[in-house]
Chain A
Amino acid sequence: MTTTHTTTHGRVAVAPTIIVLLLWMMVPLGMTMWFSLQRYNLLEPDTIRFVGLLNYHYFLSDPVFWRGLLNSILIVFWVLVVSTVGGIGLALLLDQPIFGRGLVRLMVIAPFFVMPSVTALVWKNLLMNPISGVLAWVFKSLGLAPIDWFAHYPLTAIIMMVAWQWLPFATLILLTAMQSLNEEIREAAMMDNARPIPYFFGIILPHLARPLTVVILIESIFLLNVFAEIYVTGTGGPAGNLPYLVYFQGLLNFDVGGASAGGIVAVVLANIVAIFLMRMVGKNLEN
């Protein structure tokens, strides 16, 4: 019973949201594009002038940029792999009848609520310090040489920290989805004496398609924008991703033009990812 009257009301009610989001998208993005075509350094405000694509040229011919782009992609890729594969495994495990399931669930989900700057400092100092960190102690107890994570494997360290935060998220969502798998289907599978592997690939995995889509969508949005873990641990040099490079170029080097060019590249990357994701979401969330 949607009358023209209610449709008008509907438009009025949606309008404020659309307008503020449109402004929020278009104004900064337009300005970033404009700045990216200027020679614009905050320390030399008198020398602002139009330079065309020069900033992009500098940015794209700088190996630091390619390193940053690669780091961005590696962080998203590896954290997605660890959290979805690990999440499915953990969800399968926690779906079994086990003692104290509620408590295990609380422990598993906890890292998701830890703010990124805390994760960064706790991991860097308490856990990964090569002399007194817990990991160093574990390695030495096993007779191995402790690893100086941030000196030798900074990107791996960042990926470990970020994966630690997002694995719980994937687990929680996949577990909830698994538990909604109809009891009858399970019982039928038990009756048929379904073997675990075909049962997993034939019944469980298809059932998880939708929640997995959502997990990948949400995680990608956040993972492309990982910043605090890199900023707080001071690993921007070797492990900086695009957000970090833009921050570095703009707010530390005061090069507004160059930073803006980096920002636009980040937007383009996000859009490529988004096109994939939106298709997937559109398909999977339809019904």
Chain B
Amino acid sequence: MARRGSVIKKVGLSGVAWAIGFLLFFPILWTILTSFKSELDAFSYPPKFLVFDWTWENYEVIQQRSDYIGFAVNSLILSLGSSLLALLFAVPAAWAFAFAPGRRRKDTLMWILSTKMMPPVGALIPIYLIFRDTHMLDTRTGLILVLMLMNLPILVWMLYSYFKEIPEEIVEASRLDGAGLWQEIIFVLLPMAVPGIASTLLLNIILAWNEAFWTLNLTTTEAAPLTAFIASYSSPEGLFWAKLSAASTAAIAPILILGWFAQKQLVRGLTFGAVK
């Protein structure tokens, strides 16, 4: 009897869980479905769920009309560029916090995290004016710099949380063998830290890809990534839901897939190793 009861309980709980999961996923599913409809079907009432004429047309239109690929390339360059640049700063810093700590390690780490608390609006006007005067508005270089600085504190913390799990003895042994600073970082630490660095990189690409304060305010066309590409669909011209859906699907698909694969690393990374 007990067993039968537990099966019923499992079925019931599964039903509830699937219903909630479906509800949360529905806006994305609906966007994907709508992207394959004609504009008329997209706007029809009552909504058409699966029975409509499936078409790829919207995807061709968003490429021809608003150059999806151009924006996607910018998104890729900005997120990858800023993450790699940030690694150059963060790896030595995290190494120092993990293996060559000064007396004020904790304070310094806290200070680094606290810079993340500074709201971007506090810096928007000066950065905008500086960029205007140095002709960096709407350039990839400018945005890579800003995104790099935005995410640097998180990178340092994430890398530190990975590095401190590497046994100190290994690093110390290399010191006894006379390895210098860079040798220690490059030949001893990095090979052991590859998984941690890869997860850090992945997570920061996701954050930078979806960043929408600086990218919307500092770009217009040349350096504009997908966040701006989507925002350009905010002023409707006639029926546009199907095209909007195609544009949205194309903008989120790469990161959604990446994110699904990276779930575990995501938790560990975003909680700085506090939750594994």
Q: Give min CB distance, A27 to chain B, whole Å.
A: 7
Partner among A132, A250, A281 whose Cβ is within 8 Å of the Cβ of B124: A250
Is the beta-carbon distance between B124 and A263 smaller than 8 angstroms?
yes
Is the beta-carbon distance between A109 and B263 smaller than 8 angstroms?
yes
Any A CB within 8 A of the CB of B59? no
Is the beta-carbon distance between A117 and B274 smaller than 8 angstroms?
no
Given contacts A9-B96, A100-B14, A225-B119, contact A173 B270 (CB under 8 A): yes
Interface of B is mostly: helix
Given contacts A93-B17, A234-B234, contact A110 B25 (CB under 8 A): yes
* Count of B interface residues, CB-CB < 8 Å: 98
Contacts of A108 in B (CB 8 A): 20-21, 24-25
Q: Which of B182-215 contact A (CB under 8 A)?
A: 185, 206, 209-210, 212-213
Any B CB within 8 A of the CB of A167? yes
Is the beta-carbon distance between A21 and B115 smaller than 8 angstroms?
yes
* Count of A interface residues, CB-CB < 8 Å: 107
Identify which of A118, A177, A232, A243 gathers the most chain B CB atoms within 10 Å of its CB. A118
Contacts of A32 in B (CB 8 A): 122-123, 125-126
1/0 contact trace for B14-26 toward A, CB 8 Å? 1011101110111
Any B CB within 8 A of the CB of A123? yes
Is the beta-carbon distance between A13 and B93 smaller than 8 angstroms?
yes
Instruction: Sample 25 A-B pairs with CB under 8 A, ordered by A number.
Output: A6-B100, A13-B185, A14-B97, A16-B92, A17-B156, A21-B115, A21-B152, A28-B123, A93-B17, A96-B10, A97-B13, A100-B14, A107-B25, A110-B259, A110-B260, A118-B252, A119-B27, A121-B233, A122-B27, A125-B236, A225-B119, A227-B216, A232-B231, A234-B234, A266-B119
Chain A residues near B (Cβ < 8 Å): 1-2, 6-7, 9-14, 16-18, 20-21, 24-25, 27-29, 31-32, 35, 90, 93-94, 96-101, 103-123, 125-127, 131-132, 134, 136-137, 164, 167-169, 172-173, 176-177, 180, 210-211, 214, 218, 221, 224-225, 227-228, 231-234, 242-243, 246-247, 250-251, 256, 259-260, 262-264, 266-267, 269-271, 273-274, 277-278, 281-282, 285
